[in-house]
């Protein structure tokens, strides 16, 4: 459920609507040290332009050459690379790696429009491709489902973009937002304070002047959402935490020293939050990387967000955090 695959689909749809022949190429199976996992997606235009990837580059080059020399499949077709040791080395598949792909012509973009629409509503969509007929069906997907291929039917998942809600529009927030955009997050910044929102200038983000708790409720945070509260204003930070800690958001963190974090947790106990919900709070926020500048602190925050999203052990938690240094979620 890599959200980058949604960008591949969007570009493929646009190419097709412009009248270009387009093929989708999906990794269906790997052995050994293949560079891309099953489900990885690439779109290829008739003139050789590509978006996405299925390998380190050499396989893409070969696919482009095939298209340019007239090998243009009209139905879903299996392709295999790395059958021999020499071929594996040629295509950048070390240690005898092997790679199997499905290449399919994109003849109907209606299903792409539906996938993009439903994922924009933060739904997970499962797509089924029948290799024999080329027919595509869509149905609701769920977290925990995985890409599969049984020789005749390919089932892939498309999920919503990972979403980051930042509370506060100061210098640190700008650094976090800019880096999060580079990491392919959908970024929303919220700050009702007049003197802050007038200076927000990060292209590609959404800005809201709503009260943080109202915004959290309207967004309906899901397991693809993260929240970082960095206003230095307990009134605003605590408002969002009261709602975010009860939500399915995979990460909730708040800026503050060990002392301020302890006081914040005591305040949260006065409301209808359980010990387990309060224990979800990442504070002091970020991994202990030793940085002090806004950009360095932003790196530490996003490093922690990415580690939690990946289910990686948090080995550099800051002192005073109630969140243990262990694996937290499975994406």
Residue range 177-206: average pLDDT? 90
pLDDT at 2: 57
| Same-domain pairing of 170 and 31 | no
Q: Does 323 reside within a domain?
A: no
Q: Does 327 reside within a domain?
A: no
| Same-domain pairing of 178 and 144 | no
| Same-domain pairing of 21 and 142 | yes
Q: Does 49 reside within a domain?
A: yes
| Same-domain pairing of 154 and 177 | no
Q: Does 113 reside within a domain?
A: yes
| Same-domain pairing of 150 and 13 | yes
| Same-domain pairing of 237 and 140 | no
Q: Does 320 reside within a domain?
A: no
CATH code of the domain covering residue 192:
3.40.50.720
**Residues contacting residue 152 through CB under 8 Å, at least 6 positions apart:** 130, 131, 132
Model confidence at 88: pLDDT above 70: no
| Same-domain pairing of 102 and 19 | yes
| Same-domain pairing of 19 and 147 | yes
Residue range 285-313: average pLDDT? 91
| Same-domain pairing of 11 and 39 | yes
Residue range 30-43: average pLDDT? 76
* Structural domain of 287: 163-310
Instruction: Give the chain's domain count.
Output: 2
| Same-domain pairing of 146 and 282 | no
Final residue before a domain boundary, out of 135, 158, 181: 158
Instruction: Select from 141, 116, 119 the least CA-distant residue to 128.
Output: 141
CA separation for the pair 23, 143 (Å, rounded): 27
CA separation for the pair 131, 2 (Å, rounded): 23
Burial bucket for residue 244 (CB in 10 Å: 0-12, 13-18, 19+): buried
Per residue in 146-185, pLDDT (tens digit) is 899 999 999 999 988 899 999 999 999 999 999 999 998 9
| Same-domain pairing of 19 and 144 | yes
CA separation for the pair 83, 100 (Å, rounded): 10
More confident residue, 329 or 324: 324
pLDDT at 329: 46
Model confidence at 252: pLDDT above 50: yes
| Same-domain pairing of 11 and 92 | yes
Model confidence at 280: pLDDT above 90: yes
Model confidence at 203: pLDDT above 70: yes
């Amino acid at each position: 459920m890599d959200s980058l695959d949604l960008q591949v689909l969007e570009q493929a749809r646009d190419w097709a609507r412009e009248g270009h022949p387009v093929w989708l190429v999906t990794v269906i199976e790997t052995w050994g040290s293949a560079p891309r996992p099953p489900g990885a997606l690439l779109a290829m235009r008739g003139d050789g332009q590509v978006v996405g990837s299925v390998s380190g580059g050499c396989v893409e080059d070969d696919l482009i050459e095939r298209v340019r020399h007239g090998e243009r499949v009209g139905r879903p077709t299996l392709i295999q690379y790395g059958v021999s040791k020499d071929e594996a080395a040629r295509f950048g598949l070390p240690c005898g790696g092997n790679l199997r792909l499905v290449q399919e012509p994109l003849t109907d973009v209606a299903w792409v429009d539906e996938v993009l629409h439903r994922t924009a509503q933060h739904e997970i969509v499962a797509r089924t491709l029948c290799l024999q007929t080329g027919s595509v069906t869509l149905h609701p997907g769920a977290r925990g489902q995985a890409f599969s291929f049984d020789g005749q039917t390919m089932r892939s998942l498309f999920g919503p973009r990972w979403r980051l809600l930042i509370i506060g529009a100061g210098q640190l927030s700008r650094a976090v937002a800019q880096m999060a955009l580079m990491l392919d997050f959908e970024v929303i910044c919220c700050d009702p304070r007049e003197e802050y929102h007038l200076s927000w200038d990060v292209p590609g983000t959404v800005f809201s002047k709503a009260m943080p708790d109202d915004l959290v409720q309207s967004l309906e945070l899901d397991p693809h959402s993260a929240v970082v509260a960095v206003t230095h204003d307990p009134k605003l930070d605590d408002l969002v935490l009261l709602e975010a800690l009860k939500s399915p958001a995979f990460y909730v963190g708040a800026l503050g020293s060990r002392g301020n974090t302890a006081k914040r947790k005591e305040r949260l106990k006065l409301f209808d939050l359980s010990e387990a919900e309060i224990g979800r709070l990442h504070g002091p926020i970020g991994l202990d990387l030793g940085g002090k500048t806004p950009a360095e602190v932003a790196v530490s925050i996003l490093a922690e967000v990415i580690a939690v999203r990946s289910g990686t052990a948090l080995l550099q938690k800051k002192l005073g955090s109630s969140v243990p240094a262990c694996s937290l979620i499975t994406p």
